[in-house]
Structure 1
Amino acid sequence: MKFSETLEFDHEDRKRIYEYVESHGEVDADEARDVLHVDPGGFRHHVAILKRDGYLEEHDGMLRASFDEGTAEEYDVDGIEFTIRPARQEDLAGIVGAIRRVAEQGSYIVAESVADEIDHDEALLRHNEIESRMFFVATVGGEARGDSDGSTGVRPGDEVVGWVHLYAPELDKLAHTAELTVGVLDEYQGHGIGSHLLARGLEWAGSNGYEKVYQSAPSTNEYAIGFLKDHGWETEAVREDHYKIGGEYVDEVMMAVEL
């Protein structure tokens, strides 16, 4: 299922099943059936239709929302081999860890709030009537694999070293915009990983109908601001003394790019 597709259900139980699975990230099929009080025959029927229509997928008895967001892309730059791919539920801990490491210097506050949110949320990816949330990751030390159903998985040892995250509330007046964060661990910077992640995120945003992508950073985060400027982003506004970091007031730089 593409994020740009409207969620439409022709049966209330199918809507309930999708919403339960989507909000939990991954659930045991039998557990979902029991919690939702759907008879076994009806549950199997509804899940089969949701899978057929691209809303759900199933792995080893576990149900998760299905998102058709492209395949893995492999790169070798300066002897560093890495993969850029859509994130999956099992990447949640790795993404939180990577974001916290990048943000630990106190200079990527928006990303830090993203880590807090997903760390307390059961689902990594979201697509419902209220919000959409998508991640792509850069990984090293593992291989992307193609499953028999055409989906992309992760081999053990696949370490998340960077991410790009896009968030969009499902509001008509903001339907053309999405917020983006992107980051790469210090030891993997300088090899084009951030540029590939940013390009993948903007490609996703454009293909899903977004016209503008934005993010904010403290003025002290000169690296992030320079990185975005180098990729065509412009400063839209500056909020003076918006942050207080280490006892000092710091401006917020609000940046955006038109797609």
Structure 2
Amino acid sequence: MIIGKKEFNVNELQYTIRSACAEDAQKLSALRLKIDGETEYMDREKGEDFIDASSFEQRIKEDTEKKRNLFLVAEVQDRLAGFSRCEGTDLKRSSHKAEFGVCVLKEFWGYGIGKHLLQQSLSWADTNGIKKISLNVLETNERAISLYKTYGFEAEGILKKEKLLSDGNYYNTVVMGRFHD
């Protein structure tokens, strides 16, 4: 699905949140690769499960056509700084929910980009019959967990020892959800 673009100005940084388009595919491929290497909050290490431009183009096309999917990008002066996706299903028993994921380049943390991607996704969900948004977050990502709680997400469970990080230790994943009547 496509939503209208929104402009933001936070701490003198101007950026736009808008639906992804085919022209973003190459930039998204490079952006995802870079973000995967910046922290251990993501599911992948840098280069794992690489998505090339043509695969991103296909994903954008599908998300644009599907009523229960939303693919957003954050753009700073013709440069992508982050993106988010909501992915739903048409299966009747699960058609009320969607999975949410977000990532932002580390240099753009602190400007509300993740928060605004989340807000736009929740607004879309609330007006399009999506009653539940689910997500997974690494237990050490306290900023993200705090943000999600601010927007009504609750911890629904813990996946114990879900991730093995570079320090050789296992970490839990927090499963969170937000239900909207």
Give the TM-score range, shorter chain: 0.7 to 0.9
> Identity over aligned residues, as a percent?
29
- Evaluate the alpha carbon distance shift between residue 129 and residue 97 of structure 1 in structure 2; reply closer, same or farther with a 3 A threshold: closer
Please provide the CA RMSD for this pair.
Answer: 2.9
SS at match of 2:146: helix
From 31, 40, 44, the counterpart of 1:106: 40
Match of 2:58 in 1: 123
Cα deviation for residue 117 of structure 1 reads: 5.4
Q: Unmatched 5+ residue regions in structure 1?
A: 4-68, 142-157
Q: Which residue of 1 aligns with 2:174?
A: 253
Q: Report deviation, 1:135.
A: 0.9
Q: Give yes or no for contact 2:25–2:54 (8 Å, CA) kept in 1.
A: no
Alpha-carbon contact 2:17-2:75 (below 8 Å) kept: yes
- Show structure 2 runs of 5+ residues with no match: none
TM (normalized to structure 1)?
Answer: 0.60
Moved more, 158-167 or 117-126: 117-126
* Residue deviations 1:101-130 (CA, integer Å, cap 9, x gap): 3332222217989x7457672513215999
Quote the Cα distance in structure 1 between the aligned partners of 2:121 and 2:52. 18
Distance, in Å, in 1 between the alignment partners of 2:129 and 2:44 is 23
Residue 93 of structure 1: CA displacement?
2.4
What is residue 27 of structure 1 aligned with on the other side? none
Given that 2:64 and 2:70 are in contact with CA atoms closer than 8 Å, whether structure 1 keeps it comes out as: no
Q: Which has the higher contact order (CA 8 A, sep 6+)?
A: 2
* Structure 2 residue 121 is matched with structure 1 residue 201: yes
* Counterpart residue number, 1:167: 87
Cα distance between partner residues in 2 of 1:204 and 1:112: 30
* Separation (CA, whole Å) in 1 of partners of 2:159 and 2:97: 20
Match of 1:176 in 2: 96
Q: Is the 8 A contact 1:107 1:217 kept in 2?
A: yes
1:134 aligned residue: 70
Which residue in 2 is equivalent to 1:189?
109
Conserved? CA contact 1:109–1:217, under 8 Å: no
Distance 1:128 1:227 in 2: 27
How many residue pairs match? The answer is: 176
Residue aligning to 1:228: 148
- Indicate the SS of the match to 2:59: coil
Relative to structure 1, the CA distance from residue 138 to residue 106 in structure 2 (aligned partners, 3 Å threshold; closer, same or farther) is same
Q: Provide the TM-score with structure 2 as the length reference.
A: 0.83
Distance 1:112 1:231, change over 3 A: farther
Q: Which protein is bigger by CA-based radius of gyration?
A: 1
1:46 match: none
